[in-house]
Amino acid sequence: MTETENIRDVVIVGSGPAGWTAAIYSARAGFEPLVLAGTLEAGGALMTTTEVENFPGWPEGVLGPDLMERLQTQAERFGAQVEYEDAVELELDGEVKTITTESGVYRARVVILALGSAYRKLRLDREAEFSGKGVSYCATCDGFFFKGKEIAVVGGGDSAVTEALFLARFGSTVHVIHRRGELRASKVMADRLLAEPNVEVHWNKVVTALHGEATLESATLTDTVTGETSTLPVSGLFVAIGHDPRSAIVRGEVAVDDAGYILVDEPSTRTNAPGVFAAGDVVDHTYRQAVTAAGSGCRAALDAQSYLEGLA
């Protein structure tokens, strides 16, 4: 492992809309930021999203990976450096912070945390066993493998509806399993889902068990009102019940709330550690949209600029 001798002005940990936007603004301000974009998670959640229809400036929609590629290209055009590494340890106290990866150690006056969030799981017995063998958290990654088969999607928000609409291209029937009696998704998305001929919604149901030999074969559904159980034969089950913030690596270094979201001094992006700022889904309980993440990345870069100018 090598340790860089120079102290950078800005290191951005994470990518996605927040990280890339922070990089664009920091680079244009002349700080030559380093983006530790990650390995498997490089680009954030939008790397596994098909068509993004609600990002401003894209009236015809844009594929998630294409949008992230364009943001990265824009950041690099202005002088951002990108390394596909994961931070394994961060020391964020003091004027100079230390970020350790598997291959090196970086030092910076400012760290912007754009760590994003992770797929939330059902926490059922055999869920891990069936992961990749019928259970998935990414329709765009795995939907093709279930062509002509019975598929289930767990959830009722925009993410679940997006997954179900995508899977409707492949599955003989897509079963949407929702614990409530109405969808939480936006009306436009809900209407689109309910109009799909091969989508069936199971209201007031939760998945309580998974069954199969080598691969998933069925799921037990429990009615949240009556408690009655039923068996749903499915080959694929896609979990879309939300995300948890990826803040484990910085707990103890910056303050987080009970749910693990990094606390910032709203409306700024300042954490309780001087020179450390946080943006995107690792902060956002409420909106969790690409455009709001990008906006918070902008704010983090501007806050970082003000902090650095104060050190001069």
* Other CB atoms within 10 Å distance of the CB of residue 195: 9
298 catalytic per annotation: no
Gap between the Cα atoms of 86 and 100, Å rounded: 9
Q: Is the pTM of this model over 0.85?
A: no
pLDDT at position 28, please? 98
Instruction: Indicate which residue of 142, 281, 284, 303 is catalytic.
Output: 142
138 catalytic per annotation: yes
Where on the phi/psi map is residue 77: left (φ > 0), alpha (ψ -120 to 50), or beta? alpha
Instruction: Indicate which residue of 66, 93, 125, 141 is catalytic.
Output: 141
For residue 71, what are its two tokens?
Answer: 């943001």
Taking only the tens of pLDDT, the chain with its 312 residues reads 445 568 999 999 999 999 999 999 999 999 999 999 998 666 676 776 667 778 899 999 888 889 999 999 999 999 999 999 999 999 999 999 999 999 999 999 999 999 998 888 999 999 999 998 999 988 877 888 899 999 999 999 998 999 999 999 999 999 999 999 999 999 999 999 999 999 999 999 999 999 999 999 999 999 999 999 999 999 999 999 988 899 999 999 999 999 999 999 999 999 999 999 999 999 998 787 889 999 999 999 999 999 999 997
